[in-house]
């Protein structure tokens, strides 16, 4: 009897283990099918959004990297550098690009990995590396000087350009920037798609889907306390959620603090005039920790810096006050002796026609 009992107990245990193994196999199969389904869905949405939004600008290839840029207007050159997770079109939807192109030649780059610009994996795309690439691209376009405008992460690239080539950069306009290393609770989550192998799987499967679900909350946060601009909603969401762009965004989220630490040691060496703009209610980057701190650092070093704080405005200051961005560029242009045409080229042509009686 005892032997029969032990045999029955062993058989029951083995059967339960087999069922458990079968359960795990079923779960693995379901998980694999879910990943495959999400991969094909992300692939289809990526192809669709690129068909619906083909490149509207031009391309320049430099140092083995193909960069996409939008160009408008005539006059002294102004370069626009967008923040993390976005594209060059952000400056168009905000109104900054069109406003400046009334009296400047404006070039808005898709930074490496964003929009339609390449981002080779063989390079660590720090602010300094991006600054060198963009400077070489501007030289390729036969440009010998420029005012540089950066927003958010783009301010670090702008600062790096100002430090590297002060004879080329006539001045800087910095919007809602990240200038000093601080603890960011969102970085471990945002940086996951940049992890080798694991990140590659996530970027092509679940990460775009999760990001799409969180997109409304992320919009509210960057615009708070203001409402999300209707102009911002014109940007095609899936352009920002494509796997290659998620890799760029994740990599830049991971390097934020070390990049700022490297740059912060050199701020006192900056030789070009700086206009610093930020909202007093920025929930992404505290003004006192970043913009105000940078202004104080530059002043103590005897550098030319002006700080403009916008009451009641959040991180997207260029949507709240695109005209103020233009005035900051005008202030730098006037200070460095670049001509500022108060009328647009079209208005100038009409004025000349009127004066000649045509």
pLDDT of residue 182: 87
In whole angstroms, give the CA distance from residue 229 to residue 358: 43
Neighbours of 47 (CB within 10 A): 12
Q: What is the pLDDT of residues 40-49, one digit of tens each?
A: 999 999 999 9
The residues, ordered by sequence, that sit 6+ positions from 237 with a Cβ below 8 Å of its Cβ are 212, 215
Whether residue 350 is predicted with pLDDT greater than 70 in this model: the reply is no
pLDDT of residue 198: 73
Confidence bin at 193 (pLDDT 50/70/90): low
Whether residue 331 is predicted with pLDDT greater than 70 in this model: the reply is yes
Whether residue 7 is predicted with pLDDT greater than 50 in this model: the reply is no
Whether residue 126 is predicted with pLDDT greater than 60 in this model: the reply is yes
pLDDT of residue 8: 41
Confidence bin at 190 (pLDDT 50/70/90): low
Mean pLDDT of 276-297: 95
**Dihedral of alpha carbons 279, 281, 285, 288, sign:** positive
For helices 206-223 and 243-264, the axis angle rounded to 10 degrees is 50
Q: What is the pLDDT of residues 75-120, one digit of tens each?
A: 999 999 999 999 999 999 999 999 999 999 999 999 999 999 999 9
pLDDT of residue 189: 65
Whether residue 340 is predicted with pLDDT greater than 90 in this model: the reply is no
Residue with tokens 């991006």: 130
Confidence bin at 197 (pLDDT 50/70/90): confident
Confidence bin at 37 (pLDDT 50/70/90): confident
Mean pLDDT of 65-81: 97
**Among 19-23, 90-94, 215-219, 273-277, the least confident range:** 19-23
Confidence bin at 321 (pLDDT 50/70/90): very high
pLDDT of residue 244: 94
Backbone angles phi, psi at 149, to 5 degrees: -115, 130
Neighbour-count burial for 332-353, b at 16+ CB within 10 Å, e otherwise: bbeebebeeeeeeeeeeeeeee
pLDDT of residue 237: 96
pLDDT of residue 278: 97
User: Is pLDDT larger for residue 13 or for residue 277?
Assistant: 277
Average pLDDT, rounded, for the chain: 87
Whether residue 341 is predicted with pLDDT greater than 60 in this model: the reply is no
Whether residue 261 is predicted with pLDDT greater than 70 in this model: the reply is yes
In whole angstroms, give the CA distance from residue 186 to residue 117: 26
Whether residue 35 is predicted with pLDDT greater than 80 in this model: the reply is no
pLDDT of residue 2: 46
**Among candidate residues 325, 65, 23, the one with its CA nearest the CA of residue 172:** 325
CB 183 within 8 A of CB 258: no
In whole angstroms, give the CA distance from residue 324 to residue 260: 26
Whether residue 161 is predicted with pLDDT greater than 50 in this model: the reply is yes
């Amino acid at each position: 009897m005892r032997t029969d009992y032990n045999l029955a107990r062993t058989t029951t245990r083995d059967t339960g283990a087999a069922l458990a193994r079968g359960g795990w196999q079923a779960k693995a199969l379901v998980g694999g099918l879910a990943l495959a389904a999400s991969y094909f869905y992300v692939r289809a949405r990526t192809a669709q959004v690129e068909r619906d939004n083909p490149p509207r600008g031009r391309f320049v290839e430099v140092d083995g990297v193909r960069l996409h840029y939008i160009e408008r207007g005539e006059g002294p050159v102004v370069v626009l550098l967008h923040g993390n997770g976005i594209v060059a079109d952000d400056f168009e939807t905000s109104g900054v690009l069109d406003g400046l192109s009334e009296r400047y030649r404006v070039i808005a780059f898709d930074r490496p990995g964003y929009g339609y610009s390449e981002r080779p994996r063989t390079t660590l795309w720090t602010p300094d590396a991006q600054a060198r690439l963009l400077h070489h691209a501007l030289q390729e376009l036969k440009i010998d000087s420029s005012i540089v405008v950066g927003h958010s992460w783009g301010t670090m690239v702008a600062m790096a350009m100002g430090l590297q080539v002060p004879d080329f950069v006539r001045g800087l306009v910095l919007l809602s920037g990240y200038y000093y290393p601080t603890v960011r609770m969102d970085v471990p989550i945002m940086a996951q798609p940049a992890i080798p192998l694991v990140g590659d799987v996530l970027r092509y499967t679940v990460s775009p889907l999760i990001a799409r679900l969180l997109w409304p909350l992320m919009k509210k946060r960057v615009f708070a306390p203001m409402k999300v601009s209707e102009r911002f909603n014109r940007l095609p969401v899936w352009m920002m959620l494509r796997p290659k762009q998620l890799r760029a965004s994740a990599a830049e989220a991971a390097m934020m603090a070390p990049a700022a630490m490297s740059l912060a040691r050199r701020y006192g060496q900056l030789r070009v005039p700086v206009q610093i703009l930020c909202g007093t209610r920025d929930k992404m980057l505290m003004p006192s920790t970043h913009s105000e701190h940078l202004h104080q650092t530059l002043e103590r070093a005897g550098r030319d810096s002006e700080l403009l704080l916008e009451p009641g405005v959040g991180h997207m200051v260029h949507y709240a006050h695109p005209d103020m961005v233009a005035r900051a560029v005008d202030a730098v242009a006037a200070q460095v002796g670049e001509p500022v045409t108060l009328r647009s080229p079209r208005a100038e042509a009409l004025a000349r026609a009127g004066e000649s009686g045509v």
